[in-house]
Structure 1
Amino acid sequence: MNAAVSLERSPLPAAFLAAIERLIPAERRFDDPLSTLAFGTDASFYRLVPKLVVRVESEAEVIGLLRLAHAENVPVTFRAAGTSLSGQAISDSVLIVLGDNWNGREIRHGGAQIRLQPGVIGANANAVLAPLGRKIGPDPASINAAKIGGIVANNSSGMCCGTAQNSYKTLAGLRLVLADGTLIDSEDPASVAAFRQSHAALLDELAELGRQTRANSELAAKIRHKYRLKNTTGFSLNALVDFDEPLDILNHLMVGSEGTLG
């Protein structure tokens, strides 16, 4: 006998919701059926209707949200432009959406580098660099809509840059927030020093994982071979053979991790 059963989604913890109300203004929290349905899809054909949508406008809000989610064991998903073709920008739990205040950019060394906040659209970054005869490496088909946060999180490349100029290969530094709410900026010596002290065990484990991977010649060769080609499936395990410094390993594992690591 077959039976169809309707299942109700588990509500978010009351303590989590109460804390969110104190952290995020009401006009940037959405839990009504219409709003959650609208955010239940991205550019893919998947649908997951979130229980709560939160629009964040500051780094402090992101840190606060992640600490609350970590404490209450609440899954969260981040969304930049929502151009994902694979469903990375949807959630049936809490969807955290970038607001309008993530558009900072800084051109360095005459255009040899550019530091971008995650809300900058790829094409807009290129427009700023164009007078200097420069462009960013990644060139996804969605560059006119995709934002840097999503481009890096997906290790976007496109048909033109191949594996030589993708997000992984062109990353010079990263400012990120881990799942426990810890902030680390790899270009800030004070931030790096504090992180080395607070997360020494994590860095030691990454360093050891890298040493073991590189020492296994067969495994290291297999990883190098796979990542000679365009490969955005799974985590960027090539970071374990490309870098010795554990912070470099961490930064490059973030590229293509689709928000699962930080």
Structure 2
Amino acid sequence: MNAPAQIERAPLPAVFLGEVERLIPVERRFDDPLSTLAFGTDASFYRLIPKLVVRVESEAEVIALLKLAHAENVPVTFRAAGTSLSGQAISDSVLIVLGDNWNGREIRNGGEQIRLQPGVIGANANAVLAPFQRKIGPDPASINAAKIGGIVANNSSGMCCGTAQNTYKTLAGLRVVLADGTVVDSEDASSVAAFRRSHAALLDQLAELGRETRANSELAAKIRHKYRLKNTTGFSLNALVDYDEPLDILNHLMVGSEGTLG
């Protein structure tokens, strides 16, 4: 039998590559065959060989890369720890990998809340909460390796927390970079105000979508039933029936979106 034909993707645009070279130091860019092969797998059994791997160390770099990718129509995929079992941390285009400078954490109200950057490993978050007899809600089997960025992106839960203490249910706020490079921090009043001005149309559309969904009693009941069960398939459509504030809808749609929305 003939081997299946390999689909060849077009090379990355020269403009994109030139700007990436300007933005990211050479020691954090990988396009050699050995490196791209190594980054072509995660914890799943899938394989996609990226054309370029970029290790990012700041939010400014993420913003610049997303603006560039958006302008040049280049697909990008984000990777935290790569513990996914479903293949969402691999790419045959550009793979953006978290570096070592994403470990910020802030304990609030005696451990009632904790704000974490996406590179914090779940078990490390629990370690700093342990003196307060607290822990984060999600409890994935990979918690000793999985990072918060991936835990949120996958709406991780684990065997213990079910649907009551998963990422979706325990999210208090979110700072996100959208595909166009815009940053919105739901806990920063000035950031929210600026976002309401710059993305009013998006927020209006989300509000209207939520109203239409909640007004359709049959559809709303189906969504509520679907998400009473343990479910991380597809987008978190329950955000449309659980919230009427469009920024809350946006934040909770991000949970489980596997990097496709921001």
Calculate the TM-score normalised by the size of structure 2.
Answer: 0.98
Q: Does residue 70 of the first structure (1) align with residue 70 of the second (2)?
A: yes
SS of corresponding position for 2:125: helix
| Letter of the structure 1 residue corresponding to residue 144 of structure 2 | N
Q: CA deviation at 1:180?
A: 0.2
Distance 2:59 2:102 in 1: 9
1:31 corresponds in structure 2 to: 31
SS of corresponding position for 2:159: helix
1:197 corresponds in structure 2 to: 197
| Letter of the structure 2 residue corresponding to residue 133 of structure 1 | Q
Q: Does residue 42 of the first structure (1) align with residue 42 of the second (2)?
A: yes
Q: Does residue 169 of the first structure (1) align with residue 169 of the second (2)?
A: yes
Distance 2:33 2:26 in 1: 16
Q: CA deviation at 1:7?
A: 5.1
Instruction: Please list the CA deviations of residues 206-260 of structure 1 after superposition, one character each: whole Å capped at 9, or x if unmatched.
Output: 0000000000000000000000010100000000000010000000000000000
Q: CA deviation at 1:10?
A: 1.4
SS of corresponding position for 1:64: helix
SS of corresponding position for 2:144: coil
Structure 1 range deviating more: 21-30 or 3-12: 3-12
Q: Where does structure 1 differ by over 6 angstroms across 4 or more consecutive aligned residues? A: 1-4
Matches within 5 A, 1:1-262: 5=5, 8-262=8-262
Distance 2:5 2:117 in 1: 45
Distance change in 2, residues 1:4/1:98 (3 Å)? closer
| Letter of the structure 1 residue corresponding to residue 238 of structure 2 | N
SS of corresponding position for 2:127: helix
Q: CA deviation at 1:5?
A: 4.9
Distance change in 2, residues 1:131/1:2 (3 Å)? closer
Distance 1:228 1:189 in 2: 32
| Letter of the structure 2 residue corresponding to residue 40 of structure 1 | G
Distance 1:7 1:218 in 2: 42
Distance change in 2, residues 1:171/1:5 (3 Å)? closer
Q: CA deviation at 1:8?
A: 3.9
| Letter of the structure 1 residue corresponding to residue 19 of structure 2 | A
| Letter of the structure 2 residue corresponding to residue 224 of structure 1 | R
Give the aligned length.
262
Distance change in 2, residues 1:15/1:229 (3 Å)? same
Distance change in 2, residues 1:240/1:33 (3 Å)? same
Q: CA deviation at 1:41?
A: 0.2
Q: CA deviation at 1:88?
A: 0.6
Q: CA deviation at 1:145?
A: 0.2
Structure 2 gaps, min length 5:
none
Distance 1:3 1:260 in 2: 32
Distance 1:4 1:131 in 2: 56
Distance change in 2, residues 1:6/1:116 (3 Å)? closer
Distance change in 2, residues 1:37/1:189 (3 Å)? same
Q: CA deviation at 1:3?
A: 8.4
Distance change in 2, residues 1:137/1:244 (3 Å)? same
Identity of aligned residues (%): 90
| Letter of the structure 2 residue corresponding to residue 141 of structure 1 | A
Distance change in 2, residues 1:218/1:14 (3 Å)? same
SS of corresponding position for 1:107: strand
